[in-house]
Amino acid sequence: MANMNISKKLREARKAAGFTQKDVYEWLGIGQSTFSAWETGLGEPSVEVFLKLCQKYGIEQPPSYFLPDPVSGQTAQQLDPVFVTKMLSLPKRSQDAVRNCLEFEYSNSPLRVLHPGRRVRKIPLYTQVATAGFGNYLDDQDVEIRQLEAPEDATFAVKISGNSMEPLIHDGDIVFVHRQNELASGEIGIFSYNGESFCKVWDNRTGTPKLVSLNKRFAPIFLKASDSLVIHGKVLL
């Protein structure tokens, strides 16, 4: 038997992200019964698949989402459900305004605690790259050196424009990238496709490689032999 709390939270996270069971088990390439068992406590995914699910559902901090606080006994989402409910009911423009206020207060708080594995350091940031929409050029002239709280493995950062990677990555987000020229199927990367840059999921499970959006309104990009593709690196989430 799996952990019932984690099974329940996985089911809630999927629904909150707007996915049906079929959306996810077909994306993973597994059977419906196997996937259903993960949400009912009759089974559990591997650690690798669990992390992929967290990524797909937009769970940026799995420990705080799934594990209870040692003092209160509640998860982070249960600590202030009224705030979370109100926040999610706001239009996107208002949500962005609240996030900006939170980021300002967080950045200037004397009690600020950095994310584990991250420290403020200088890192190249590409500022004019529309990588989560219909593509744009990754131009070295549009790079700045910024002081950012970045993962240790990050080589550079990219400012995202577009909504094809929602609900995980939003328009205006900054993602950190580890420079590498190969990706495992299911990993998110930064690509140059026929001279334009994209932030997509690399999918090579069937032997026919394609770049996939998390936002179902965007069709996959199927790669042909005549296409030019460069993998710039893996997005660190």
Long-range contacts of 217-222 (CB under 8 A, 24+ apart): 217/164, 218/164, 221/193
Nearest to 198 by CA among 139, 128, 138, 123: 138
Looking at residue 81, its pLDDT comes to 52
pLDDT of residue 11: 87
Structure tokens at 65: 């989402």
**Cβ atoms within 10 Å of 207's Cβ, excluding its own:** 5
The third-level CATH classification (topology) of the domain covering 4-66 is: 434 Repressor (Amino-terminal Domain) (1.10.260)
- Mind listing the pLDDT tens digit for each residue in 67-86? 654 444 455 444 455 556 66
Domain extents in the chain: 4-66, 82-108, 119-236
pLDDT at 136: 46
For residue 201, the model assigns a pLDDT of: 92
What pLDDT shows up at residue 187? 92
Structure pTM?
Answer: 0.50
The vertex-167 CA angle with 164 and 169, nearest 5°, equals 65
Q: Burial letters for 79-110: b for 16+ Cβ neighbours within 10 Å, e otherwise?
A: eeeeeeeeeeeeeeeeeeeeeeeeeeeeeeee
State how far the Cα of 186 lies from the Cα of 28, in Å rounded to an integer.
Answer: 9
pLDDT of residue 197: 85
d(CA 78, CA 198) in angstroms, rounded, equals 36
CA distance 26 to 64: 28
**pLDDT score at 102:** 60
Region 119-236: CATH code = 2.10.109.10
pLDDT tens digit string along 16-60?
Answer: 888 888 899 999 998 888 888 888 877 888 888 888 898 998 888
**CA nearest neighbour of 55 among 184, 183, 186:** 186
* Ordered DSSP codes for 194-216: TTEEEEEEEE-TTSS-EEE-SST
- List of the chain residues with pLDDT < 70: 1-3, 63-64, 67-88, 98-118, 128-142
